[in-house]
Amino acid sequence: MAEETVPLKDAATFLLDECRMVLPGIQALFGFQLIAVFNERFVQDLSDFERYLHFAAIGLVAVAIALIMTPAAMHRRIGVRRVTDAFIDSSTRLLLASMVPLAVAISLEFYLIGRLVLKDGIAAPLAVALLALFGLLWVGVPRLFRRRHWAGTTGA
C-alpha cells in the first residue's frame, strides 16, 4: 500500500477548509452562550459557582475560536502564495488545540443544562462521560486509525 502525499498547496486548502467548516458551529455556540445570561433561569436556578462555570465555558469557546482562526490569519500574514511544511504543521496543531477548550466548554454547558433539566445529581457524571467521549472520538480514534494505517504501510 503506497502512501500518497498531498502537495503543500492542497494540504493548506484542506486545512483552511476544515477550519472554515468548524468555525460557524463554534460561533453559534458562542452566541447561544451569550444569550443565556439574559434568561431569568440563569440567575434564578444556577448557583454563583454554576454561573462562573458558564462564564468559564464562554471563555473556553472564545479561546477555541481564536485558535481555529489563527491559521487563516497566519496564511494571510505570511502570504497566500507561500505555503510551507511549518505552516501546515503549526496550523494543524492550532486546529487540534482548539478542540480541547471546545470539548471542555461543551461538557460544562452540558452539565449546566443537565443540572437544570435533571435536578438529581446525574448531570456531572453525564458531563464527564461526554468529555470522555470527545476524548475518545477526537483523540483515541484518530490515534488508533493512525497506528493501524502506519502498521499497514510499514510492512509493504
User: Where would I find the beta strands (DSSP E) of the chain?
Assistant: none
Band of pLDDT at residue 2, cut at 50, 70 and 90:
low
* Sequence spans of domains, the chain: 8-154
115 touches 88 (CB < 8 A): no
Half-sphere exposure of 105 (CA within 13 A, CB side): 22
The answer, yes or no, to whether residue 126 has pLDDT greater than 70, is yes
Q: Cβ of 95: how many Cβ atoms within 10 Å?
A: 18
CA separation for the pair 6, 3 (Å, rounded): 10
Q: Cβ of 98: how many Cβ atoms within 10 Å?
A: 24
CA separation for the pair 83, 87 (Å, rounded): 6
Stretch 111-132: mean pLDDT, rounded? 93
Band of pLDDT at residue 156, cut at 50, 70 and 90:
very low
Please provide the distance, in angstroms rounded to a whole number, between the alpha carbons at the two ends of the chain: 6
**Residues 38-62 pLDDT 10s:** 888 888 989 999 999 999 999 999 9
**Residues 71-110 pLDDT 10s:** 988 888 877 677 888 888 999 999 999 999 999 999 999 9
CA separation for the pair 141, 153 (Å, rounded): 18
101 touches 67 (CB < 8 A): yes
Band of pLDDT at residue 64, cut at 50, 70 and 90:
very high
Percent of all residues in the chain with a pLDDT value above 70, rounded to a whole number? 92
Band of pLDDT at residue 154, cut at 50, 70 and 90:
low
Tell how many helices (H) and how many strands (E) occur in the chain: 6, 0
